[in-house]
Chain A
Amino acid sequence: MEKSKPYPQLIATGLLSGALYLLLYLYEREIMQAFTRTDGWYPALPIVTAFAFSMAHGAFTAYFWDVLGVRAKK
């Protein structure tokens, strides 16, 4: 039987990923100022952000191919 397509998951992760990218676009200047600071815990910002995007956007891209029917061969 054909597996049902994960549309709700695609939409949820898509919105999350889109929101993260929108924040990056809207607060570009502030983000660049904070993320290139070398004092305190500021250097952790790019690393944590990269992880966060990889989770949200990584999940979205996985659902994206799944919905398109591009799935791994069993």
Chain B
Amino acid sequence: MEHTAIQFIDLQYGSVLSLLVIGFVGGVVSGFIGSGGAFVLTPAMMSLGVPGVVAVASNMCHKFPKALVGAWKRHQFGQVDIKLGLWMAASAAVGVWIGADIQRGIREAYGEAGSNLYVSTAFVVVLTVVGLFVLLDALRTIRAGGVEQEKASRLARWVQSVEIPGTMIHFKTANTRVSALFTVPLGFATGMLAATIAVGGFIGVPGMIYVLGAPALVASATELVLAFVMGLGGSINYALHGLVDIRLALILLAASLFGVQLGAIGTTYVRPHVIKLVMAAIMLIVAVSRGLMLPVYLTQLGHAGVSEATMSMLSRASMVFLVLALCTGGLIILMAMFKGRGLAAAPGTREETAD
């Protein structure tokens, strides 16, 4: 049976070009911090006239090959903890499943606007809290001269000290030994967030760093394994319903694979706190973007009285902030990388720049 209900758009050169640009920057960011890009790509495709479900499906079908290439690259640098990635991915799959169920329930009970309000509130709350936490940590390191050895957080040290017989797992690359009773809920939360706001990495990466005690480099690289597994699972599901626009997925890949390689190479030139800084900057700007949409959804639900003109202005501003988040992340990465390359090339400074 062919799927006839879904409209696939006619591709124009302008839309292809904008997808290539966003795809490239999204690739750089995800090669560097393990995730990113999805939060801009889906709305960007929708603004080109792609139906929401096709945008999500095509984005997912572009995400798993990108994550695969990124994970492979960073595996060559010895940064990926495959075992941790697979443990997280297995529990994240359950999280995605339940998260999607909750989403469906909310949509049935409160309609599209209610569902949007729930998603945006989750965005704002989670990203503000976690983003501020990560930002403060990165700033502490910068104030200390950016040279301090990466130490496990107090929470991670406690988590590592808890011995629950029969559940302990040693993650070699992440250099941590923790109980599965901690990794499973963390993976679950990552999956829940992925199902809700499409970017599980905003919980997964900080979780691996601050709860499990993995180094930022390993956490961001391992997130790519999770992104691959979840993206592949999601893509198969959407493909079974005939919803993937393969042209969009491959156009995005054309540019994002250049980006993901560059982002992955970039991690070898910078100190770990730069990864945290990029992540925090993106999370906080995205939180502002979604925050701007709250009055719009509240009005649609009849709980606020914002005028049509203001709603359209807020929607536009929200999109601008999304693009700004991605560009800020990309810019910090490229600047840090050029600085790192310059230092590495200068004679006599090689030792000081080694992480």
Contacts and interface: CB of A to CB of B under 8 A. Distances in A.
Contacts of B236: 43, 47
Given A35-B244, A50-B249, A71 B265 contact: yes
Contacts of A6: none
A7 interface: no
A51 B253 CA distance: 11
B257 A38 contact: no
Contacts of B257: 54, 57-58, 60-61
B61 A24 contact: no
B1 A70 contact: no
Contact of B246 (A31, A57, A64, A73): A31
Contacts, number: 112
A36 B341 CA distance: 45
A44 B241 CA distance: 11
A53 B265 contact: no
Contacts of A39: 1
Interface string A7-51: 000000000000001001000100111011111001111110111
A59 to B, nearest CB: 9
A67 interface: no
B3 A36 contact: yes
Interface string B252-264: 0110011011101
Given A32-B247, A46-B239, 15 more contacts: A35-B244, A36-B245, A38-B242, A45-B246, A46-B235, A47-B61, A50-B253, A53-B250, A54-B66, A54-B68, A62-B261, A65-B261, A72-B264, A72-B265, A73-B344
Interface of B: 1-3, 6, 8, 61-62, 64-66, 68-69, 72-73, 76-77, 232, 235-236, 239-247, 249-250, 253-254, 257-258, 260-262, 264-265, 268-269, 340-341, 344, 353
